Amino acid sequence: MVFTPVDQAAWPRAQMYYYFSQMAPTGYSMTVDVDVTHLYEAVHRMGVKFFPAYLWLVTKAIAAVPELRTAVKDGAVGYWDVLTPLYPVMHEDGNISLMWTEYDPSFEAFFAAYLENAEQHKDVRGVLGRPGLPPENAYTVSCIPWVGFKHFAIHSYDNKPYYFPSIEAGKYRTENGKRLMPLSVTCHHATTDGLHVARFLEELQHGMDTFGA
C-alpha cells in the first residue's frame, strides 16, 4: 500500500476540505439499491461465498475513486492507492470480531487470503480477530443479511481526521425478477461529494454485473 501526499497549494479541493473538516465538520449517508442478480448467480456457479465477493467488489470500486481513499498521514493529506476492508466475523455465540484481508486485484488471491484468515484466526475472541492493529488504510465495510433496511447511517468521527467511507449492506429482496440489496454509504463531506459516491456506485454495479465473466 502506498500513500501519496497532495500539494495543498495546488489541490482543487483544499478550501472545501478545510471548510468541512475545520469550520463545519459534516458527514452524510445515502442508501441505494444495488442489483445483485448476476452476482448472486455467479458466486453460486463458482462455488464461492457471497460476502468475500462483496468485500472485494466494494474495495475494487473504491480503488477507482481517489476521494474515497483520502486520509491524513504524518500530518499530510493524501491518498492511499488502495484500501483494506475491515469487516466483522461472527462466532458461534453470536459475538463478532473485526477481521481484515488485504486487497488484491485478483479475486481468486483475495478469496484465498480471506479463507486463510478465517481458518487461522477462527478461535480468536475480542474486538480484533487478528493479532496487531488493522493497517492504516483499513476502512469499515459490513453487512446485515437479516435486515432489509431502507436507510442506515453511522457517524462517529470523534474529532479524528477519518475520511474513508463506511459501507453497509442489508438483506436483499426480490422485485420484478431482480435481487435488490440495500447499500448504505457514509462519507465525510470534507473529501467526498455526491458525484464521487455516484462514481463509486457506477463502478460497483458494473463489477457486480460482470463478476466471474
Q: Which sequence positions are flagged as catalytic?
A: 189
Whole-angstrom distance, CA of residue 48 vs CA of residue 42:
9
Burial of 144 (0-12, 13-18, 19+ CB in 10 A): middle
Give DSSP secondary structure letters for 23-60: IS--EEEEEEEEE-HHHHHHHHHHT--HHHHHHHHHHH
Say which amino acid occupies 199: R
Burial class (CB in 10 A: 0-12, 13-18, 19+), 176: exposed
> Do 86 and 140 contact (CB within 8 A), yes or no?
yes
Burial of 124 (C-beta count, 10 Å sphere; 0-12/13-18/19+): middle
